[in-house]
C-alpha cells in the first residue's frame, strides 16, 4: 500500500472518531425487525417509518433504535 493511501486511511479513522464532523441531512435505512423488514427515513429533521406503530404514534422501535445508534450525531428530531 502506498504512503498516500496510508495517509488517507489514517485521516478517515480520525474523522470517524470526530463525530461532530458529520451532519446528517437525509438517509434511508432498512431494519430487519422480528417479523418484517422496515424502511426508516430521516429527512428535513423528521423521522418516518413504514410500520403501523409509527403511523399511529409518530415514533417506533425502529426510529428509536436509529436514534440510539446515531446518538450525538443528529440534530434533535422533530416529532412527526
* Average pLDDT of span 38-48: 94
Domain that holds residue 9: 3-69
When the pLDDT of each residue in the chain is averaged and rounded to a whole number, the result is 90
* Cell numbers describing residue 57: 404514534
Is residue 58 in a domain?
A: yes
How many domains does the chain divide into?
Answer: 1
Is residue 75 in a domain?
A: no
Question: Which band of pLDDT confidence, cut at 50, 70 and 90, is reported for residue 20?
Answer: confident
Is residue 31 in a domain?
A: yes
Q: Which residue has the higher pLDDT, 29 or 78?
A: 29
Residue partners of 63: CB distance under 8 A and separation at least 6: 40, 47, 49, 54, 77
* Average pLDDT of span 6-28: 91
Is residue 60 in a domain?
A: yes
* Average pLDDT of span 30-54: 94
Amino acid at each position: 500500500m502506498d504512503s498516500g493511501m496510508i495517509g488517507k486511511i489514517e485521516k478517515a479513522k480520525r474523522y470517524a472518531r470526530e463525530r461532530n464532523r458529520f451532519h446528517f441531512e437525509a438517509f434511508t435505512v432498512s431494519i430487519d425487525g422480528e417479523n418484517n423488514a422496515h424502511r426508516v427515513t430521516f429527512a428535513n429533521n423528521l423521522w418516518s417509518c413504514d410500520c403501523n406503530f409509527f403511523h399511529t404514534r409518530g415514533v417506533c422501535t425502529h426510529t428509536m433504535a436509529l436514534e440510539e445508534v446515531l446518538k450525538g450525531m443528529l440534530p434533535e428530531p422533530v416529532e412527526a
